[in-house]
Structure 1
Amino acid sequence: MLREKPKGGKVAKTAKAPKVQELPRRADRERRRHKRPLRLTGLRMRLLAAFAAVALLTSVAVTGVSYVLTRQSLMNRMNQTSVQQFRAAVTPNQQQLEDAKPTANPPPSLTNLSFKLQAASGSDWVLHRTGMGDGATQNYLSYDSVPPELRAAAQRSIAWQRVRVGGVPYLIIGSSVQPNGIEVYSFVSLEPQQVDLDRLAQNSAIAAAVAIAIALLLGLLASRGVLLPLRRLGIAARRLGAGKLDTRVEVRGNDEVADVSRTFNETAEALERSIAELRSLEASSRRFVADVSHELRTPLTAMTAVTDMLEEATDVGDESAPAAQLIVTETRRLARLVEDLMEISRFDAGTAQLRREEVDLVALVSGCLDARGWTGRVTLTVPPGLVVAVDQRRIDVIVANMVGNAIKHGGEGPVELSIGAFGPNLVLQVRDHGPGIPPDALEHIFERFYKADKARGRSEGSGLGLSIAYENAHIHGGELTGGNHPGGGAVFTLRLPLEATIPAPEVRA
């Protein structure tokens, strides 16, 4: 169960009781929301497969050994009992067997004797002597049913062997009566024992199936005990990743999962402290930048006025003129830097405001180029006129930074500026024909104070222009991207959400 650390004091015990119950319901809702379908390679299926495999192997081993031992014990006992019955039945009729005379056909005495032996022992008998034929109690049981190896062993002593006759299992016990050589064989049916063994195998299979079912049930319970805390940890991790740094996991027990839960809580607490410190430092840094920028505006205003007078002065000597010009240039650069820092601080504080007004975008772009003396360096591909609702000052800043960057780093080639509509978006694109943006600088071009060319002079810019243009694009609900054109040179693209129909473009010099 997830719980959130209370903020700003203790939790009331009675008045806040309904909110205490809110956490389990919230955790259950998130658990259902993040519940994933059963996967064949998931941890639950692997646990169930392991439990089922152990139960199956154990059942097969136990039932197999039990079946073999039971069968062996049953057969041994059956052998001993049958041999004893064989001796008990043959011994009283020993004299009659010795007095039997050979004839062309089995004499009635052999047949009668076989029935007599059957009555004495309860099993079927076959009496055989070469030249006399067989005396048997059943037609399908004959001397031919006796295996040759058993016949050879019966000549020396009492022997037995288990065989199938007519699909029925039999224990055949045989011996030879001397001196007339009559062979006596007892056929003891093992069908009742086979039925018992088959029933034992069937019961063992049922017991194995029940054991596997119980193992699967135990596997489900065990997997629930393991996966439920892991699912709670997963939900807590997602909440923590979503920015809810006060998320904690309830620790239950002292097992490995509980140790992981404690580690998660300690990590979350340390992360919350670190993030709070970073946010505090960031807020202090933003306040410092804003305060410094604000405090510098007043002296900079006076310095700018003085430098303007210094620039217009005509009585500056030739030796002092370069120094005066340097002061004018650096003062203006410092003033621009302060304005940029104040603009950045507004974006960071969330106080930057968008003042939309309907303006002719083509006239706005042309005015931006004219004011900076870039008209002769830029080729325009724009529609005849397009009235849009934008913040005029911010769009002017975006265009000035895009075009100024292209002129500054695009070499002597022309700069192309085009405006068009692609679906619901208004697209303004600036391309130069210079060396392009270095690959290692592509992902940093909109970062603050970043300069792709580390050797550029200090007076070429502060590294805030593109980042301010990027923020101005976002405050309009659009985006500003930069990259290299396949034909060479860098290209910057501004996309603004706009529903407008733009006529066919015309080229302006």
Structure 2
Amino acid sequence: MKTFARVVRRYVLATAAIILLLMALGVAALIGLGYYYGTMRADSFRYSSSQIADHLHCDAQGTFVFDTQPAEVWLDGYVWAMVLDEEGQILWRHDLPAALDHPYTVTEVASFTRWYLEDYPVFCQIRDYGMLVLGMPKDSIARYNFWSAPDLLTGIFKNSGLILAAVLVLILAGCLLVSWRSTRSLQVVANGLDVLAGGGTVELPTRDFTGELARRLNQTSEQLRRRNEIIRRRDEARTNWIAGVSHDIRTPLSLILGWAEQLQNDRAVPEAARRKAAGIRDQSEKIRALVEDLNLTSKLQYGAQPLRREACQAGPLLRGLVADFCNGPLAQGCAVELELSPQAENFPLSVDRALLGRALDNVLGNSVRHNAAPVRCWIEAQVEDGGLSITLKDDGRGYPPAVLAALQGEPSEHTPHILGLHVVEQILQAHGGQASFWQNQPHGCRVQLYLPGQKT
């Protein structure tokens, strides 16, 4: 989300830079257009009014003539010309329209010298022989007049750089203010997205320009809250149901196991009946193990099984767990060998001893139950990548292909029952480790359990 906010901030700053660039380009375009059209209009006549006035002379007889070139050349681009004396009388004219051929008062002269004469733009030059008036074609140029205090113009020219810098600073300040406010609003939305991604709920303010987005996130949060509540209730009901069924089965199952053991050990019972009683006992033990696994996997899945961690060393822990298994009923059908590397002997761990013992029992019990006795099992422990790696192998038939595919994350429509080994995966994951399953070479099963070391 921080990346998202940075992207928006960069977008706003880039927008401000583009605005400044467009302003600079606009000023340059105005200057360019002014230069272009000014040059183009200047090119419409060959000589300026001052040049024409300088080359027009009045001889002793009062005749006006141009030196070096005829009047048509000097007046190229102008439609008419005339010379007025101090009383406004016309001393000389060239193509002067009849409507303009009359004496002019001081007021009329003062008026047209600034702008227009009967819609003709005019230029005036004062010389010894009088005032030269040059008329341009109508609508050819625009002439306007403005006035200002000299101090104002001087101040503008002197402080133009400072004024431009102040304008740019104001623009940048405005852009930064908008960027800051936008980023702050977006940061609130980004934090809300982080909370939603973590499974939480939010109630974001719906003001500013992110209000619509905030409202959508609030709606999404409410929908997720309701859905999570439904899932929580469903999972709680499932966990309670499994726990209740497990509790209800435990009492009659204990009676069945007790009676089967009595019949198995009663010498007065025929041998065939005692063998059947032994089979009943074995199958009842399997049912009890399945019920316990079902209850445990449900608690682990929904976080209802607390981890009672305790600091210990790997060597004594593993030897104690293997001894517990060897003292149980399943050990009669197998031989277990334990080998620890020197580094693994005193490797520090923080584990729930009961859960880890259950994981070892499930792996070794799986080897015993699915192979003809006697089966040999090996347990090797060594330190790898800052953790303890425990490898369990047997010399049995190995995993069926469908079971191995399910254990390696490739379930099919007919995935076989692997509840006991799934519990092993959950126990290792609860400890921050992992369980991996392969075929052993040349035959048998191989399971690798990885436990991280105790954090100091």
Interval containing the TM-score (normalised by the shorter chain): 0.5 to 0.7
Partner of 1:361: 318
Indicate the residue corresponding to 2:21 in structure 1: 53
Q: 2:357 — aligned with what?
A: 396
More displaced stretch, 297-306 vs 40-49: 40-49
Deviation (angstroms), 1:473 = 4.3
TM-score when normalising by structure 1? 0.54
Q: Say yes or no: does 1:482 pair with 2:450.
A: no
Match of 1:90 in 2: 57
> After superposition, what is the alpha-carbon deviation per residue over 1:312-369, rounded to whole angstroms, capped at 9, x for unaligned?
5675697x89976765444332222222234345554245645778856335425524
Displacement of 1:234 in angstroms is: 0.4
Deviations 1:143-165 (A, max 9, x none): xxxxxxxxxx989833789xxxx
Cα deviation, 1:246-304, whole Å, max 9, x if unaligned, reads x2211115x5x321111111111111121122112222221221122112212222222
Pick from 59, 69, 73 the counterpart of residue 157 of structure 1: 73
Which residue matches 2:125?
Answer: none
Match of 1:13 in 2: none
**Larger RCO, structures 1/2 (Cα 8 Å, 6+ apart):** 1
Structure 1 window deviating more from structure 2 (203-212 vs 42-51): it is 203-212
Cα 1:316/1:299, change in 2 over 3 Å: same
Which residue matches 2:31? 63
CA distance in 1, matches of 2:187, 2:432: 39
Does the aligned pair in 1 maintain the 2:382–2:389 contact within 8 Å?
Answer: yes
Query: 2:101 is matched with which residue?
Result: none
SS at match of 2:448: strand
Is 1:226 matched with 2:179? no
Taking the aligned partners of 1:402 and 1:307, their CA distance within structure 2 comes to 26
Report the residue type matching 2:287 in the other structure.
L
> Given the superposition, is the C-alpha separation of residues 292 and 495 from structure 1 closer, same or farther in structure 2, using an over 3 Å criterion?
same
In structure 2, what is the equivalent of residue 235 of structure 1? 191
Between the aligned partners of 1:286 and 1:401, the Cα distance in structure 2 is: 22
Counterpart position of 1:251:
206
- Is residue 420 of structure 1 aligned with residue 382 of structure 2? yes
Q: Distance in 2 between matches of 1:213 and 1:357?
A: 66
Unaligned runs of 5+ in 2: 78-155
Q: Percent of counterpart pairs with the same letter?
A: 18
1:283 aligns with 2:244: no
Please report how far the alpha carbon of residue 425 of structure 1 lies from its aligned counterpart in structure 2 after TM superposition: 3.9
- Kept in 1, the 8 Å contact 2:334–2:368? The answer is no
Give yes or no for the alignment of 1:429 onto 2:391: yes
Q: Distance in 2 between matches of 1:341 and 1:299?
A: 18
Distance in 2, Cα, partners of 1:343 & 1:400:
14
Describe the SS at the equivalent of 1:220.
helix
- Quick one: structure 1 residues 159 and 271, their matched pair in 2 at CA, closer, same or farther if it must change by over 3 Å? same
Of 266, 272, 291, the residue aligned with 1:338 is 291
| TM-score of the aligned structures, taking structure 2 as reference length | 0.59
Residues in 1 aligned to 2:7 and 2:415: alpha-carbon distance in whole angstroms: 57
CA distance in 2, matches of 1:431, 1:452: 26
Matches within 5 A, 1:439-450: 441=406, 444=409
CA distance in structure 2 between the aligned counterparts of 1:396 and 1:360, rounded to whole angstroms: 9
Inter-partner Cα distance in structure 1 for 2:389 and 2:157 = 80
- Could you tell me which residue of structure 1 aligns to residue 339 of structure 2? 381
Q: Is the 8 A contact 1:473 1:494 kept in 2?
A: yes
Q: Which moved more, 1:299-308 or 1:200-209?
A: 200-209
Provide the C-alpha distance between the structure 2 equivalents of 1:437 and 1:209, rounded to a whole number of angstroms.
78
Return the alpha-carbon distance in structure 1 between the equivalents of residues 454 and 364 of structure 2: 22
Gapped regions of structure 1 (runs ≥ 5)? 1-30, 99-116, 118-126, 129-152, 162-199, 446-450, 457-461, 500-509
**Residues 421 and 316 from structure 1, CA distance in 2 versus in 1: closer, same or farther, beyond 3 angstroms?**
same
Q: CA deviation at 1:395?
A: 3.5
Counterpart secondary structure, 2:434: strand
**How far apart are the structure 2 equivalents of 1:206 and 1:159?**
45
Decide which of 221, 228, 241 is 1:268's aligned counterpart: 221
Tell me the equivalent position of 2:423. Answer: 468
Query: Counterparts of 1:301 and 1:469 in 2: how far apart (Å)?
Result: 25
Going from structure 1 to structure 2, the CA distance change for 1:58 and 1:378 (only over 3 Å counts) comes to: farther
How far 1:383 sits from its partner (Å)? Answer: 5.4
